[in-house]
Chains A and B, each alone.
Chain A
Amino acid sequence: METYIGKPVKRREDARFLKGAGKYTDDIKLQGMTHSAFVRSPYAHAKILSVDTSAAEKAEGVVAVYTGSDACGTFGVPCGWQVDFKNGETMREPLHPLLAKDKILHLGEAVAIVIAETLELARDAAELVQVNYEALPAVTCPKKAMEPSAPKVHDQWEDNAAFDWCIGNDRAEVEAALANAHHVTEMTYKNHRVAPNAIEPRSYISDYDVNADKWTLYTSTQNPHLVRLLLCAFALGIPEHKVRVVSYDVGGGFGSKIYHYTEEALLTWASKEIGRPIKWTSDRTEAFLTDAHGRDHIVHSKMGFDADGKIVAHLTDEYCAMGAYLSTFAPAVPTYLHGTLFQGVYTTPLIHLNVVAPFTHTVAVDAYRGAGRPEATYLLERIISKAAKEMNMDPAELRYKNFIPPFNGTTEPGYQTQVALQYDSGNYHGVLKRGLEMLGYEDFRKEQAEARKNGKLLGVGISTYIEGCGIAPSAVVGSLGARAGLYEVGHVRVQPTGKVSVFTGAHSHGQGHETVFAQFVADKLGIPMDDIDIVHGDTDQVAFGMGTYGSRSLAVGGSAIIKSVEKVLEKGAKIAAHKLEAAEEDLEYAEGKWTVKGTDKSISFGDVSLTAYVPHDYPEGVEPGLDFSSFYDPTNFTYPFGTHIAVVEVDADTGKVDLQRFVACDDVGNVMNPMIVDGQIHGGVVQGVGQALLEEVVYDGEGQMVTGSYMDYAMPRADDVPMIETDRTTTPCPHNPLGVKGAGEAGAIGSTPAVVNAVVDALAHLGVTDIQMPVTPQRVWKAMQN
Chain B
Amino acid sequence: MQISVKINGKTYDHDIEPRISLAQYLRETLNLTGTHIGCDTSGCGACTVHVDGAAAKACTLLAVQVDGCDIKTIEGMANGNEMHPIQEAFKDNHGLQCGFCTPGMVMTAADILKNNPNPSEEEIRHGLEGNFCRCTGYHNIVKSIQQAAEKINA
Listed in ascending order, the chain A residues whose CB lies under 8 Å from chain B are 8, 10-11, 13-22, 24, 26-27, 29, 120, 197-201, 249-252, 254, 283-284, 509-512, 675-676, 678-679, 682-687, 709-711, 715-719, 721, 723-724, 747
Contact = CB atoms under 8 A, between A and B. Distances in A.
Nearest to B43: A710
A656 to B, nearest CB: 16
A19 B139 contact: no
Interface string B96-118: 11111111001000000000000
22 contacts: A10-B91, A11-B91, A15-B91, A18-B106, A19-B87, A20-B33, A24-B100, A199-B132, A200-B38, A201-B37, A251-B98, A678-B94, A678-B140, A682-B137, A682-B139, A682-B140, A683-B135, A687-B134, A716-B137, A717-B131, A723-B139, A747-B137
B41 A24 contact: no
Interface in B33-74: 33-41, 43-44, 46, 73-74
Interface in B75-128: 75, 77-78, 83, 87, 90-92, 94, 96-103, 106, 121-122, 124-128
B151 to A, nearest CB: 15
A751 to B, nearest CB: 10
Given A11-B94, A120-B17, A710 B44 contact: yes
Given A19-B34, A20-B35, A284 B43 contact: yes
Given A718-B126, A718-B141, A723-B139, 16 more contacts: A10-B91, A20-B32, A20-B73, A20-B75, A21-B34, A24-B100, A199-B101, A254-B134, A284-B40, A284-B41, A678-B94, A679-B97, A682-B136, A686-B137, A718-B128, A719-B128
A249 B34 CA distance: 12
A715 B131 CA distance: 11
A715 B39 CA distance: 13
A719 B129 contact: yes
Bin chain B's interface residue count. Answer: 35 or more
B104 to A, nearest CB: 9
B22 interface: no
A676 B33 contact: no
A14 B91 contact: yes
B83 A721 contact: no
Contact of B100 (A10, A29, A199): A199
B34 A200 contact: no
B19 interface: yes
A709 B17 CA distance: 26
Main secondary structure of the interface of A (DSSP, over half): loop
Contacts of B31: 29
Nearest to A710: B43
A18 B38 contact: no
Contacts of A511: 97
Contact of B83 (A15, A29, A510): A15
Contacts of A685: 137
Most buried by A among B121, B136, B139: B139
B65 to A, nearest CB: 17
B78 A19 contact: yes
B91 A724 contact: no
B142 interface: yes
B107 to A, nearest CB: 10
